[in-house]
Amino acid sequence: MADGKKLRVTLVKGLMGTKQSHRATVRGLGLRRRNHCVELVDTPAVRGMINRVSYLLDVTEAA
């Protein structure tokens, strides 16, 4: 599953009014501000973090 596949994760909503644990999860993904984009290796741990805060993110497969 993690054989080089990458995901492009973008924070599309702000963090105001969200739970502290959700803010920590977004920070753990390496996202700092709205419209910030990072590429992450597709692992079960990363998928779990994305699922937890999916309402804040846009996720696509990186080319």
SS3 assignment, position 14:
coil
Average pLDDT over residues 3-24: 95
Query: Taking the alpha carbons of 45, 56, 28, 33 in that order, is the dihedral positive or negative?
Result: positive
Go through the domains of the chain in sequence order and give each one's CATH number.
Answer: 6-61 (3.30.1390.20)
Average pLDDT over residues 24-42: 97
For the full predicted model, state whether its pTM sits above 0.75: yes
- Which of the pair, 4 or 19, is modelled with greater confidence? 19
Question: How confident is residue 63, by pLDDT bands cut at 50, 70 and 90?
Answer: confident
Question: How confident is residue 2, by pLDDT bands cut at 50, 70 and 90?
Answer: very low
Average pLDDT, the chain: 95
CB proximity list for 58: less than 8 A, separation 6 or greater = 9, 10, 12
Whether 56 and 11 have beta carbons less than 8 Å apart is answered as yes
Q: Where are the beta strands (DSSP E) in the chain?
A: 6-11, 37-41, 57-61
